[in-house]
Structure 1
């Protein structure tokens, strides 16, 4: 009787590790794509957060009329309204996926920034403000992912590990 009980116990002990290995293997196979998707989602969230910070920085510099020397000299001649403080606010930022870019071997994302500056009415002045907002948004993305060496002096396009970012003209409200 003891021998029969011993054989039953041995059979059960042998099956448990095999079943456990099968369940764990299936779990790993199912979780791997989920983890990869979450990592890509995290990367996109990090890039959007960086672009928001950069756009806000650009809007702040525009609002306070803080510019590099060469831009300031140009603005005194061509855009005198911009050398005085103005209230520039970022109202919305969103992105659209534009598919896989063969040139960069990354998914292309285009950022669209909406801003408001009631005191700046001239369209060419708004274009200058928008260019600076877009510049800082792209710059922050590059700084966030340490990819400044992969792009040009105006950070266009900006890169992360799996994405390439461009900006559309700022929409003024």
Structure 2
């Protein structure tokens, strides 16, 4: 009987409104945080897939015509298949960038290559890996039209991505 008496005075609906209100207040920040981390995870996955694609194109010595001609002259080792392995990819949050009105993220890719590859060859390999990582991010978020021909920087909804030189291990 006590339960019904409190319901007559509207206490039960008021408690319900308070609980629902607090739940909504708590769920909004959690949802926003999860959305941002999901986007960053998607970008990191795309960067990893792009880096692997770059390694595969290097491993098979598949290059655009202009790069192939340049590599024949200056980096003859790169026109032959080579073995490169992606060790890891991490990122550095550089904070909010007022130029782009987005948070700037710098990707750092770690790779290993045969000891016979010299520094200039590794720079070319690293450029190709970074290119494919940025390109895959743009393809993932369908932002190819917002960047330049080398996909630098790459964009998502809340982030702008750049790449540091590949670190060779």
Q: Normalised by the shorter chain, which TM-score bucket?
A: over 0.9
119, 122, 125: which one aligns with 2:118 = 122
In our comparison, the structure showing a higher alpha carbon Rg is 1
Q: Deviation string for 1:50-91 (max 9, x for gaps)?
A: 000000000111111110111111111111110000101101
Residues 1:36 and 1:8: Cα distance change in structure 2 (over 3 Å): closer
What TM-score do you get using the length of structure 1 for normalisation? 0.93
Q: Could you tell me which residue of structure 1 aligns to residue 56 of structure 2?
A: 60
1:22 aligns with 2:18: yes
128, 137, 140: which one aligns with 2:136 = 140
Unaligned runs of 5+ in 2: none
1:95 aligns with 2:91: yes
Q: Deviation string for 1:78-110 (max 9, x for gaps)?
A: 111100001011011100101100000000000
135, 141, 153: which one aligns with 1:157 = 153
Moved more, 59-68 or 116-125: 116-125
Q: Judge conservation of contact 1:147–1:160 (CA < 8 Å) in 2.
A: yes
Q: What is the distance in 1 between the residues matched to 2:134 and 2:83?
A: 22
Displacement after TM superposition at 1:137 (Å): 0.2
144, 148, 166: which one aligns with 1:170 = 166
Q: What is the distance in 2 between the residues matched to 1:8 and 1:51?
A: 59
Q: What is the distance in 2 between the residues matched to 1:8 and 1:131?
A: 72
- C-alpha RMSD over aligned residues: 1.4
42, 46, 61: which one aligns with 1:46 = 42
Q: What is the distance in 1 between the residues matched to 2:127 and 2:96?
A: 25
What TM-score do you get using the length of structure 2 for normalisation? 0.95
